[in-house]
């Protein structure tokens, strides 16, 4: 049984049918990526999975537990944690305060201290700047902070929404490298990306989303070879 099972989800914005019966599975320890054009429904899918949007029908299960109707703050407690699109760090708070905020659901101090050590080990840059106001960090550092903040919430699975968005090309490689290290350290990741080439390089499997429906899915390496994917998403001819 897969760790995260999303089954036949239908999500609407008012009358707009944004997700038309989507099913996605993520196994423990995997990186699964969802690629697709702007407006295909990638972010909607992540928001539905984390409870920020409520699907009209379908089900979301984590380790067999039904989460479909839970409000977002309880979904976090169950272990689905989102790294939001555009980073959305708390710009006026310090790096440390941001990380603290990530640990909001967990009142076990020793566990929080351990998590903090883990985050600082992954991102030594954040440790150097722990007293700095987060809004003054560079884009790459802010992305690290957004990931670190999510890790503080003890995620079983991390939902990452466009982590490379708005970053200088030189930093994008670093971010994907970090995602791979996170995964090697045991975090399961569902990754939504427009940068399909990079996403398919680090993911094990991938889904191609188009107009709110899954076009097809396959192992990432095979998707990268697929004629349609190469034409539509990798910009090759």
Partner 1 sequence: MNAESRERLPGLRLGLVSGACLVLLTLVGIVEAFSQREIVSGVLSMGEGLLFFTGLFIAYLAADRGLRRAGTGRALAAGLVCGLAAAALLALLVLLSKAVNLRQVLINASPAVFQMLVFQREELEVGLALLLAAGLLTGAAAAGLRLLPPVPRRAVTAGLVCVAGLGMLQDTVYPVLSSWGPVAGLADLVFEGLGLSPGGAVALFVLTAAGAAFWALQGAAVRGRIAGLSPGGRRGLRIGAFALLALVLAILPQALGLFLSEVLTIVGLYVLLGLGLNIVVGFAGLLDLGYVAFFAIGSYTVAILTSPELGFFSLSFWQALPFAVLFGVIAGVLLGIPVLKMRGDYLAIATLGFGEIIRILVLSDSLRPWLGGAQGIGKIPKAEIVGFEFGGPQEIYYLILAGCLLVGFISWRLRDSRLGRAWMAVREDEDVAQAMGINLVAAKLLAFATGAGFSALSGAIFATKIGSVYPHSFNVMISINILCVIIVGGIGSMPGVIVGAFALVGLPELLREFAEYRLLVYGAALVAMMLLRPEGLWPEATRRRELHEHEEQAGPTPDAPAAAAAGRP
The count of C-alpha atoms lying within 13 angstroms of the C-alpha of 102, restricted to the half-sphere facing its C-beta, is: 33
Shortest approach of partner 1 to residue 123 CB, angstroms?
Answer: 14
The number of C-alpha atoms within 13 Å of 3 and in the hemisphere containing its C-beta is 18
124 binds partner 1 (CB under 8 A): no
Bridge-partner residues for 81, per DSSP? 158
Q: Please give the structure tokens belonging to residue 18.
A: 């944004």
Q: Which is nearer to partner 1, 6 or 83 (CB)?
A: 83
Residues 6+ away with beta carbon under 8 Å from 15 = none
**Are the C-beta atoms of 20 and 212 separated by less than 8 Å?**
yes
- Residues in contact with partner 1, counted by CB under 8 A, come to a total of 39
CB of 124 to partner 1, least distance (A): 13
Q: How far apart are CA 201 and CA 190, in angstroms?
A: 14
**Which of 29, 39, 124, 135 lies at the binding interface for partner 1 (CB under 8 A)?**
135
Binding pattern for the stretch 75-94 against partner 1, x by CB under 8 A and - elsewhere: -xx---xx-x---x-xxxx-
178 part of the interface to partner 1, by CB under 8 A = no
Interface residue list for partner 1 (CB under 8 A)? 50, 52, 71-74, 76-77, 81-82, 84, 88, 90-93, 100-102, 104-105, 107, 132-133, 135-141, 149, 153, 166-171
């Amino acid at each position: 049984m897969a760790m995260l099972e999303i089954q036949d989800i239908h999500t609407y914005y008012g009358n707009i049918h944004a997700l038309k019966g989507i099913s996605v599975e993520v196994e423990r320890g995997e990186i699964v990526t969802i690629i697709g054009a702007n407006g295909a429904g990638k972010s909607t899918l992540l928001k539905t999975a984390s409870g920020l949007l409520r699907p009209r029908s379908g089900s979301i299960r984590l380790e067999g537990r039904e989460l479909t109707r839970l409000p977002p703050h309880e979904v976090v407690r169950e272990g689905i944690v989102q790294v939001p699109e555009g980073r959305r760090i708390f710009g006026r708070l310090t790096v440390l305060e941001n990380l603290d905020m990530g640990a909001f659901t967990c009142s076990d101090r020793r566990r929080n201290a351990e998590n903090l050590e883990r985050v600082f080990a992954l991102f030594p840059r954040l440790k150097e700047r722990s007293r700095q106001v987060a809004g003054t960090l560079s884009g790459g550092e802010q992305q690290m902070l957004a990931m670190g903040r999510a890790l503080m919430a003890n995620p079983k699975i991390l939902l990452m929404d466009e982590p490379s968005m708005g970053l200088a090309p030189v930093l994008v490689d670093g971010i994907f490298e970090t995602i791979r290290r996170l995964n090697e350290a045991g975090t399961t990741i569902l990754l939504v990306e427009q940068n399909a080439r990079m996403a398919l390089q680090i993911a094990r499997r991938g889904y191609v989303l188009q107009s709110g429906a899954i076009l097809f899915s396959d192992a990432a390496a095979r998707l990268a070879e697929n004629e349609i994917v190469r034409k539509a998403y990798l910009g090759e001819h």
